[in-house]
Chains A and B, each alone.
Chain A
Amino acid sequence: MPAELMRESYPIQGGDFDTAGEISGELKTILRDLGIEAGSLRRIVVVAFEAEMNVVMYARRGTLTFILTDDAVDLEIRDDGPGIPDLELAFQEGYSTASDEMRELGFGFGMGLPNMRKNSDDLRVETEVGKGTTVFARIRLDAHE
């Protein structure tokens, strides 16, 4: 296992659409200041933002943790939401269980999980109905699109 250079965890408040995305915005600032290459930075923050929005939309609370190593950023987004009954279906582009309120805010068009997968080098989702969901994502830091 590569050595951890940095690890931070942030609480996510479910249902708060006003501040939704703040953590990912802050993460972008931190990683940019650390000199992370632009392509990798964009992929990291897109995954973080989509995951953060999912927590805000579906759970009461959650946590976003990022771990920086020499060659990658690992994101772990854990929530106490309703869980995902059919993961395969949830990964289909366009499939969504979002409410009208979520859609009015510009989210819930069935692109969140596909976007996370597209921007990660490794993505794993653990979920249990009634308990919650955890997303593990790894994004390598070598330049790629």
Chain B
Amino acid sequence: MTLGEIRDILQCEVLTEGDDLSLDVQNVVASDGMSEILAFARSKELMITGLTNIQAVRTADIAGVSAIVFCRGKRPDARVVEFAKKKRVPIFVTRLVMFDICAILYNKGLKGVS
């Protein structure tokens, strides 16, 4: 799925767009633990988390993920959004909970990383 399709299917608000919403995504890492994200990200995975502080964006940048989806309607503050813009990390916000997001994406053929 492309980032644009993920945005639509998860009914996301886009806080930062990044460079390319046509980027194809095949794998997902989902956790509130940043070391879990770092352990399983290979590059260009989609990152799903409920952690909205600046460390979530730093982790996304270090891991090289394609975008962050913040679940449960949680929103990062303006400073975090600015930092994500600077690092060119796309940020999506959805009201869906993590379990439902994972189920929707799994049914669309996306897979986790182990």
A residues with a Cβ closer than 8 A to B are 17-18, 20-21, 24-25, 28, 38-39, 42, 45-46, 49-50, 105-107, 109-112, 114-115, 118, 145
Q: Which residues of A contact B63 (CB under 8 A)?
A: 42, 46
B89 to A: closest C-beta gap in Å: 11
- The residue among A39, A46, A145 with the most chain B CB atoms within 10 A of its own CB is A46
* A112 engages B35 (CB within 8 Å): yes
B residues with a Cβ closer than 8 A to A are 32-36, 38-39, 42-43, 49, 51, 53-56, 58-59, 61-64, 87
* B38 engages A50 (CB within 8 Å): yes
9 pairs, CB–CB < 8 Å, chain A vs chain B? A24-B62, A45-B62, A49-B58, A49-B59, A50-B38, A105-B53, A105-B55, A107-B35, A111-B33
Given contacts A38-B64, A106-B32, contact A114 B39 (CB under 8 A): yes
Given contacts A24-B62, A106-B59, A107-B55, contact A38 B43 (CB under 8 A): yes
Given contacts A106-B51, A106-B55, contact A25 B36 (CB under 8 A): no
CA distance in complex: A42, B60 (Å) = 11
A23 to B: closest C-beta gap in Å: 11
Residue of B32, B39, B49, B55 touching A17 (CB-CB under 8 A) = B55
Majority secondary structure, A binding face: helix
* A42 engages B64 (CB within 8 Å): yes
List the 10 closest A-B pairs by CB distance, nearest first.
Answer: A111-B35, A106-B34, A109-B33, A21-B58, A106-B51, A49-B62, A45-B62, A46-B38, A115-B39, A106-B55
CA distance in complex: A139, B32 (Å) = 27
Q: Which residues of A contact B59 (CB under 8 A)?
A: 21, 49, 106
Q: Which residues of B contact A105 (CB under 8 A)?
A: 34, 51, 53, 55
Q: A24-B58, A46-B63 are in contact. List 13 more A-B contacts (CB 8 A).
A: A18-B54, A21-B58, A21-B59, A25-B62, A38-B64, A39-B43, A42-B62, A42-B64, A46-B62, A49-B62, A106-B32, A106-B56, A114-B39
Given contacts A18-B54, A21-B55, contact A109 B35 (CB under 8 A): yes
* B39 engages A111 (CB within 8 Å): yes
* A109 engages B55 (CB within 8 Å): no
